[in-house]
Amino acid sequence: MSSSIGENLRLTLFGQSHSSAVGMTLEGFPAGFTLNPDTLSRFLARRAPGRNAWSTPRKEADAPEFLSGLVGNTTCGVPLTAVIRNTNTRSADYSLLRTIPRPGHADYTAEIKYGGHQDSAGGGHFSARLTAPLCVAGGICLQYLAERGIRVQAHIFSIGEIPDEGDPLISAVENEFPTLSAERGERMKALIAEKRAEGDSVGGVVECIVTGIPAGLGDPIFGGMENRISQIVFGIPAVKGIEFGDGFEASRRTGSENNDAWILRDGQVRTETNHAGGILGGITNGMPLVFRAAFKPTPSIARTQRSVNLETGEETELEVPGRHDPCVVPRAVPCVEAATAFAVTDALLGRKRELEA
C-alpha cells in the first residue's frame, strides 16, 4: 500500500491537505520508550510554514494529538497514531485545478488515476502537508536513535547554483536557515527573495549525514540502506534525484580513486576516505552514512503558465491561485531527517532479529 512504508516498523500516512486532519500510524515501535514532547515540538516547528520570509505565509499550529499508543508519554507497544487538524480547509475553490491542471503538479495524474474522484483541494493527499505527519513519525525515531548515539542531521547543500560550504561532520547546523556557512545561507536567502519577487521559484539539494550508525544495518539486494532510504525520500514531494556517498561523481572516477581503503582508527575498522557514503553492498560499514536529495523548484509560481482545459479539450492559460513557497528546500531539511530516521530505525529493529542464531 503506497501510503505505508517499512518492514520492521510500519508507517502509514493519511489525510489530505483540506480533509479534517492529516496523521500517521506507526506500528512496531518498541514498548517502553518515553517520548519528549518538547523536543518533538521543536523538531516539528522546523518544518512548519509561515515562520519567515522564505516560506508560504499559511500559518499552521501543527500540534499533533496522540490518539493511541502512549501511556502518558511512554509507548505501550501497540500502534501509535497521531493526528494534526487541518484548520483552514475548503476555504478556496479548487475545482478549477481538476479542469485545468497546474504544470509540474499532480493535478492531471491524479485526475487520470482516480477517474475524477480525487480530492484536488490544496493538492489532496499529494500535498506537502503530508510531510507534517512524516515529521511526527521521524521525530519520534530521531529521539529513539539519539538515545542510541545515532545522530541524523541534514543541511542545505545548495540552492540553485549556490553551494553551501563547510564540513558537515564538524559544523553544527543550528541556525534557522540550515546551512553550514552563514554567509552562504545569506546568499541563498537573497536568491530565494529574488525569485519570489520575480514570481518564480528555485530548487536545491539537501545533504543528510548519519553519524554514530553501527556497521551491519541494511540487507542485501532490495533491502539495502540505499533502497530503503531512496524509497522513503522519494515520498517527499519535489524530490527528483538521490545519490549516496559520491554518487554521480563516482561514475566519473576510476576504481583506484573511488575505493575506500580499510584502515584501523583507535582499534576500529574504518575507511580512510568515505566515497561510499558509509554503505557497501547495501549495508552500513560503520562510517557516516551520507546522501543528497535533489529538489526541483516549486511548480507553483505566480506567472501565467500554459495548460489544457480537460473539459473543453482546448489549450489555455492558467494562473495558479494562492501563495506558495518560492523554495521548498529549507523546510525540506527536517523532512529528509525524518525520513532518514525512520529508515534507520526500521533497519535497526530488523538487526535485532538477527543477533545470535
| Lookup result for grid cell 499533533 | 64
Q: Which three cell numbers stand for residue 170?
A: 564538524
* Residues 243 to 282 in contact with its own copies, rule: CB under 8 A: 243-248, 250-264, 267, 269, 271-272, 275-277, 280-282
- Considering only 38, 93, 115, 174, the residue that binds its own copies (CB under 8 A) is 115
Residue 65 binds to its own copies (criterion: CB under 8 A): yes
The stretch near its own copies (CB under 8 A) out of 8-16, 47-55, 164-172, 182-190 is 8-16
Give the total of residues touching its own copies (CB under 8 A): 153
- From 40-48, 55-63, 171-179, 296-304, give the range in contact with its own copies by CB under 8 A: 296-304
Q: Does 133 bind its own copies (CB under 8 A)?
A: no
Contact 27, 140 (CB under 8 A): no
143 touching its own copies, by CB under 8 A: no
d(CA 10, CA 40): 19
Least Å distance, CB 78 to its own copies, is: 4
Binding flag, residue 138, its own copies (CB under 8 A): no
Q: Does 114 bind its own copies (CB under 8 A)?
A: yes
DSSP one-letter code for 122: G
200: contact with its own copies by CB under 8 A: yes
Q: What is the 3-state secondary structure (H, E, C) of 43-90?
A: HHHHHCCCCCCCCCCCCCCCCCEEEECEECCEECCCCEEEEEECCCCC
Compute the distance between CA of residue 176 and CA of residue 16 in angstroms, rounded to an integer: 28
97 is a site residue for its own copies (CB under 8 A): no
CA geometry: angle 280, 282, 288, nearest 5 deg: 60
CB of 51 to its own copies, least distance (A): 22
End-to-end CA distance of the chain: 32
Is 314 a binding residue for its own copies by CB under 8 A? The answer is yes
Q: How many CB atoms lie within 10 A of CB 58?
A: 16
Options 41-49, 50-58, 112-120, 170-178: segment touching its own copies (CB under 8 A) = 112-120
**According to the binding rule CB under 8 A, does residue 167 interact with its own copies?**
no
Q: Of residues 14, 63, 171, 193, which one binds its own copies by CB under 8 A?
A: 14
Using the Cα atoms of residue 246, residue 247, residue 253 and residue 257 in order, give the sign of their dihedral.
positive
